[in-house]
Amino acid sequence: MNPWEESLREALRRKDVPPGFTNRVLARIRELPVRDKRTWFRFRAFIARPALRWATAVLCMAIAVGVAYRGRQDRQRRQGEMARTQVKQALRIASVKLNAARRMVQEVNQGTAQSRL
């Protein structure tokens, strides 16, 4: 800062307020509607408390994690059920095929025995 800027800083130093300033401010506040001064203010001050804000944030986070966890479990359950259905169907198909093969083998065996007789 050069000397004349220093003069500027000096000229713009903070001033003392006129006498009775604080009382005038407080008097004007006392003239405000009662709602501002009591219930409403206390409610707003209460919900604006940092602790409450943090608690709300933590609660929201917990709910979000819970919902995500539950969604993941549901998805896994659905995948499991689908896999079980597919395995059952595969076993059913395999069983049908095996039965058919067994019948064919039996028919072939019976044909061979009859030809020997």
**Contact positions vs other proteins (CB under 8 A):** 2-18, 21-22, 24-26, 28-29, 32, 36-37, 41-42, 44-50
Q: Shortest distance, CB of residue 55 to other proteins, whole angstroms?
A: 14
Closer Cβ to other proteins, 9 or 88, answer by number: 9
Closer Cβ to other proteins, 1 or 117, answer by number: 1
Q: What is the DSSP string of 45-62?
A: HHHT-HHHHHHHHHHHHH
CB of 72 within 8 A of CB of 64?
no
CB of 25 within 8 A of CB of 17?
no
Q: Shortest distance, CB of residue 63 to other proteins, whole angstroms?
A: 24
Closer Cβ to other proteins, 47 or 100, answer by number: 47
What are the distances in angstroms from CA 90 to CA 29, 103, 104, 109?
81, 20, 21, 28
Q: Shortest distance, CB of residue 26 to other proteins, whole angstroms?
A: 6
Closer Cβ to other proteins, 29 or 93, answer by number: 29
